[in-house]
Amino acid sequence: MSEDLLDIIGKMSYDELKTVERDLSMGIPLMKSLVTNRMQELETSGKSCAVCGGNLGGKDNVFTLVFGPAGLKRKASFCAIDCLGYFIDRLKEIRRRSKEGMRLAIKNS
Ligand SMILES: [Zn+2]
């Protein structure tokens, strides 16, 4: 890792190093953005939207929802806010039906 970083720094021009130096002096907002974007690329590479199945790889704006009970957390990603909204509506519907089913079971026992 550190050798890779030294290699990258060794290949940078003076102007590129000045940009990095300026970024460091400002609390590294540029580096943070680059790292966050690259992490998102890696996280979504080869993955698809939980609703429409669209490829998420390389998309700039991916929505991710973490849900479920503690210890059984699940994660789903979506290509657009419409797909996220549809998924949440389906979760609400499942929950509503589950509550209705429990009410009926209690009523019938
Ligand atoms: Zn989608």
Tokens at residue 66, please? Answer: 């973490």
What single-letter DSSP state applies at residue 72? S
The predicted pLDDT at position 1 comes to 63
Pairing type for strands 63-67 and 74-78 reads antiparallel
* 98 Cα to the center of ligand 1, angstroms: 26
Reported as a pLDDT band with limits 50, 70 and 90, residue 13 is very high
* 101 Cα to the center of ligand 1, angstroms: 30
The predicted pLDDT at position 102 comes to 78
Provide mean pLDDT across the span 67-90.
Answer: 93
Provide mean pLDDT across the span 56-80.
Answer: 89
Provide mean pLDDT across the span 21-44.
Answer: 89
Provide mean pLDDT across the span 20-27.
Answer: 94
Provide mean pLDDT across the span 89-102.
Answer: 89
Q: What is the pTM of this model?
A: 0.59
* 81 Cα to the center of ligand 1, angstroms: 8
Exposure string (b/e) for 55-72, b if CB count within 10 Å is 16 or more? ebeebeebbeeeeeeeee
* 49 Cα to the center of ligand 1, angstroms: 5
